[in-house]
């Protein structure tokens, strides 16, 4: 996931910046000390595979993420009618949470979680 700290190239440290899912999941990294995207010899963004990386179990404090959850049209009015819900959710999770709607009758809404430290956003999503 974005923000996970990894070791690569025999000891360099960085974090996952971008994940490209698929059968051959690949990653772009940011180098920890420079905070810059890792480039190859041709000054192009270098792509890494899972086999190139050692995951440390840490998260970079330099990264914030956001998560969006869909809300069913029949649930949305109940959430919007609950005054103070967003504040209570923030107090419970420590992450900014915002309920959004398009204003169109019967349309899906969404809950925006973050931006925040990746484990906190993940915890608030659960």
In tens, the pLDDT along 26-39 reads 999 999 999 999 99
Q: The tokens 């949305």 sit on which residue?
A: 76
**Do both 41 and 81 map to the same domain?**
no
Based on the fold, state whether residues 8 and 53 are members of the same structural domain: yes
- Do 45 and 16 reside in the same domain of the chain? yes
Distance CA 65, CA 17 (A): 10
Q: What is the CATH number of the domain that holds 74?
A: 3.30.1370.10
- Domain endpoint, select from 41, 59, 77: 59
Q: Are residues 94 and 77 in the same domain?
A: yes
Q: How many domains does the chain have?
A: 2
Range of the domain at 31: 4-59
Residues 46 and 13 in one domain: yes
C-alpha count within 13 angstroms, C-beta hemisphere, residue 55: 11
What pTM, to 2 d.p., does this model score?
Answer: 0.75
75 and 49, same structural domain? no
Give residue-wise pLDDT tens across range 50-97.
999 999 999 999 999 999 999 998 898 899 899 999 999 999 999 999
């Amino acid at each position: 996931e974005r923000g996970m700290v990894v070791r690569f190239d025999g000891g360099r440290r960085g974090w996952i910046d971008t994940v490209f899912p698929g059968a051959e999941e690949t990653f772009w990294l940011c180098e920890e000390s420079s905070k810059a995207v890792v480039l190859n010899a041709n000054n192009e963004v270098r792509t890494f595979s899972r086999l190139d990386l050692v995951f440390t179990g840490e998260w970079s404090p330099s990264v914030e993420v956001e998560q969006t959850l869909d809300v069913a049209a029949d649930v949305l009015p109940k959430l919007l009618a609950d005054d103070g819900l967003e504040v209570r959710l923030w107090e419970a999770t420590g992450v900014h949470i915002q309920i959004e709607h398009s204003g169109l009758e019967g349309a899906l809404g969404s809950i925006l979680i973050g931006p925040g430290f990746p484990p906190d956003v993940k915890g608030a999503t659960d």
